[in-house]
């Protein structure tokens, strides 16, 4: 078992967890608490009123009193059950949704953390551990939700049960031995010992369970991959069939079964502790029953009071056991919450500037207002976290306003890294990137990103409507979105869309959603970049998924698509470079050549000429 967490630390951890629940699942914790309070009050109130009815029947049998008690039982139970049903209806719906809300906790962290951390193996490991604990076993936030319910129920049960049993010890029988105050200690001891037994059982059970969880991590990950990703993923379905990967899955499941059998001993041990605790609780219950019956037999109280005291003592015992369980379980889920907080508290190391961009940066020439900006890489070197080799080294490059710059080079030459630095997904290891002479780290990050429209090679579309995908917003300019799609060559497909811009993309949320090809998706991504209307457009292999005709159409309309904006074009197809003003040839993390297409071709010893010659057989002469 790991080191114990102090009560002070547990209170702090639990308080923060409740704050997260309030933010992401408003009303869930409060609803659980109210429901638990009603659940604790209702049976004890019924016991108390039932005792009144039985005592009245065994005594004076006054009709008015009997009718009053019966009416009170019926009315109180009706009102309490009605209230509980209403609260439960709301909280059950919230609890059914809470896993989605918990997913948003991770999504929000991913959206706000440094991009570099999203690719850091150590950070991914922390996220994996936290998410596995939460979503596979309900540890942490899930336990906290149920713990709130148990805490309120146990507290209310203890307080109300004590109020109903206090007279048991102060009702005289005339027998000094039975009226001794030592019975308070004895009965209280039985109740507390039962609670402690349950608490120890819970603590040991949880310790075994944690060990079991650790030893089945591989099992869980393999199950998720082979049982979900491999079997159900449409992207993998073709390869699964062609290469018979189901055989690998079968072997993995066989291994998982062996591991499951190996940890069966843990499960038997886990079951033993609660069983032993139940024996101790049972002995304590017998002692309580004997004491109540003996006092009643000596005339201390009537038959109805036996019902009240037995019921209240039983509820008190259960309440103490539940409270001990809550205290023990709280330490367990606090430990898991700490793991979650370690992930959520990963700091952002990216420098957050405060400068805003001057309006001149966004000029496009269409309204007589010319853009005024310059971006320069000044002796920039970059090495990915944990890597030994530099991906870029001593790179110096300046962009001209309105320039069409093509970036080419072999795989691993630093092209994509260059774009990541330009968009400030990473910061340089050495050197500076300047916008209008100012280090880009001095600009507010969101402000700086406004100047870029980017189509990454591994872009993603969302399962929203076509128009919302183009605008990346729920509300958008429909006319502008349609024009951008037409510019991107999506005209014919747009006409075929059953609901035009309102057509749902994919079938994740809409059964009538439309599946589109990779080339069509690429056109939508291009339209999205055009819709943003930023002064710099970055296109990373924008025609990779297009057929030759569609590719030629994009090249032909390249100037029309981009307008007066600056364009940075990354491509392996050197034929596309002829449409650009200048070409930068990357090799081993630096620019080895720069110039126009014809100019670079004349350098027969240069890398560009070698790359062009290697691909020349695919181009038309001239």
Q: Is the dihedral of CA 140, 143, 144, 147 positive or negative?
A: negative
In this prediction, residue 4 carries a pLDDT of 78
What are the phi and psi torsion angles at 346 (to 5°)?
A: -60, 120
The answer to whether 116 and 123 are in contact (CB under 8 A) is: no
Are 30 and 95 in contact by the 8 Å Cβ rule? The answer is no
| Intervals of the chain under pLDDT 70 | 1-3, 136-138, 202-203, 205-238, 240-253, 255-271, 273, 360-372, 542-558, 616-622
Domain residue ranges of the chain, discontinuous segments joined by +: 10-216+263-344, 460-532
The CATH class, in words, for 460-532 is: alpha beta
Distances (CA, A) of 621 to 195, 597, 615: 89, 15, 12
Contact 374, 392 (CB under 8 A): no
Share of the chain residues as helix, strand and coil, in percent rounded to the nearest 5: 65, 10, 25
CB 178 within 8 A of CB 62: no
Distance, CA of 505 to CA of 253 (rounded, Å)? 35
Please state the length of the chain.
622
Looking at residue 368, its pLDDT comes to 45
Q: Topology of 10-216+263-344 in CATH? A: ABC transporter transmembrane region fold (1.20.1560)
Among 60, 291, 91, 33, residue whose Cα is nearest residue 182: 291
Residue with tokens 């014809």: 598
Q: Sign (positive/negative) of CA torsion 405, 409, 413, 419?
A: positive
3-class DSSP string for 15-76: HHHHHHHHHHCCCHHHHHHHHHHHHHHHHHHHHHHHHHHHHHHHCCCCHHHHHHHHHHHHHH
């Amino acid at each position: 078992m790991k080191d114990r967490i102090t009560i002070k630390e547990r209170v702090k951890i639990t308080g923060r967890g409740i704050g997260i629940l309030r933010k992401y699942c408003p009303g869930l914790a409060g609803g659980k608490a109210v429901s638990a309070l009603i659940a604790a009050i209702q049976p004890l109130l019924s016991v108390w009123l039932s005792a009144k009815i039985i005592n009245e029947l065994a005594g004076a049998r006054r009709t008015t009193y009997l009718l009053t008690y019966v009416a009170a039982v019926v009315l109180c139970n009706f009102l309490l059950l009605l209230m509980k049903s209403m609260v439960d209806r709301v909280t059950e719906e919230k609890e059914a949704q809470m896993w989605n809300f918990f997913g948003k906790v991770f999504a929000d962290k991913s959206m706000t953390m440094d991009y570099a951390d999203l690719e850091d193996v150590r950070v991914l490991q922390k996220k994996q551990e936290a998410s596995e604990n939460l979503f596979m076993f309900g540890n942490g936030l899930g336990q906290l939700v149920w713990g709130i319910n148990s805490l309120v129920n146990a507290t209310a049960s203890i307080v109300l049960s004590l109020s109903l049993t206090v007279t048991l010890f102060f009702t005289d029988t005339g027998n000094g031995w039975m009226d001794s105050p030592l019975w308070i200690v004895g009965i209280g001891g039985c109740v507390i010992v039962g609670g402690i037994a349950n608490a120890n059982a819970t603590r040991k059970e949880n310790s075994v369970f944690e060990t079991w969880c650790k030893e089945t991590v591989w099992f869980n990950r393999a199950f998720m991959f082979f049982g979900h990703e491999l079997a159900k993923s449409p992207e993998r379905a073709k390869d699964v069939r062609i290469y018979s990967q189901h055989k690998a899955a079968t072997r993995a499941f066989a291994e998982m079964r062996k591991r499951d059998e190996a940890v069966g001993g843990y499960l038997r041990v886990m079951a033993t502790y609660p069983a032993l605790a139940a024996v101790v609780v049972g002995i304590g219950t017998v002692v309580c029953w004997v004491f109540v019956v003996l006092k009643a037999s000596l005339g201390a109280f009537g038959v109805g009071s036996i019902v009240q005291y037995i019921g209240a003592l039983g509820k008190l015992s259960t309440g103490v056991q539940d409270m001990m369980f809550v205290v023990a379980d709280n330490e367990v889920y606090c430990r898991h919450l700490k793991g979650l907080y370690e992930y959520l508290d990963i700091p952002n190391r990216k420098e957050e500037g405060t400068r805003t961009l001057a309006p001149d940066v966004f000029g496009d020439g269409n309204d007589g207002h010319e853009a005024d900006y310059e971006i320069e890489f000044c002796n920039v070197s970059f090495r990915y976290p944990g890597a030994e080799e530099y991906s870029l080294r001593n790179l110096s490059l300046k962009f001209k306003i309105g320039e069409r710059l093509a970036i080419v080079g072999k795989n691993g030459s630093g092209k994509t890294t260059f774009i990541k630095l330009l968009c400030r997904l990473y910061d340089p290891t050495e050197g500076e990137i300047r916008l209008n002479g100012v280090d880009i780290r001095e600009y507010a990050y969101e402000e700086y990103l406004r100047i870029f429209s980017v189509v990454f090679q591994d872009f993603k579309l969302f399962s929203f409507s076509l128009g919302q995908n183009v605008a990346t917003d729920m509300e958008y300019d429909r006319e502008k979105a349609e024009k951008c799609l037409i510019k991107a060559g999506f005209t014919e497909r747009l006409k075929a869309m059953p609901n035009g811009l309102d057509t749902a993309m994919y079938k994740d949320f809409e059964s009538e959603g439309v599946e589109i090809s990779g080339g069509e998706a690429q056109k939508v991504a291009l339209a999205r970049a055009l819709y943003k209307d930023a002064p710099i457009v970055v296109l990373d292999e924008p025609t990779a998924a297009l057929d030759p005709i569609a590719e030629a159409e994009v090249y032909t309309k390249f100037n029309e698509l981009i307008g007066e904006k600056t364009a940075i074009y990354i491509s392996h197809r050197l034929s596309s470079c002829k449409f650009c003003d200048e070409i930068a040839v990357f090799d081993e993390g630096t620019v080895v050549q720069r110039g126009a297409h014809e100019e670079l071709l004349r350098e027969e010893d240069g890398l560009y000429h070698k790359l062009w010659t290697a691909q020349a057989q695919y181009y038309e002469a001239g």
